[in-house]
Structure 1
Amino acid sequence: MEKCAICKSKIEDTFLGKIHGTIIKGKYVCSACQKKFGSDLAKQL
């Protein structure tokens, strides 16, 4: 289980092995933070 680089919550895996989030600049980001920060997400890292 990976943790979000912004909010430190655990990122869940789907049954196919995919994550509910994304990887930006080598760091994991959860889908909630993606929705919250939108296009400013890269600046938060």
Structure 2
Amino acid sequence: MRSLRHLLPSAGSLIVFEAAGRLSSFTAAGRELGMTQAAVSYA
């Protein structure tokens, strides 16, 4: 059986996902989180 570690996203990924959804923009999420737009879309 696979461990939960492989099934669940990391906490950092969830924070990025939440910010991108709330702001409806990868660019705005990156600005808020101190990341580039490319890093947000990759996460």
Return the TM-score normalized by structure 2: 0.30
Larger radius of gyration: 2
Larger fraction in strand: 1
Return the TM-score normalized by structure 1: 0.30
Q: Which has the higher contact order (CA 8 A, sep 6+)?
A: 1
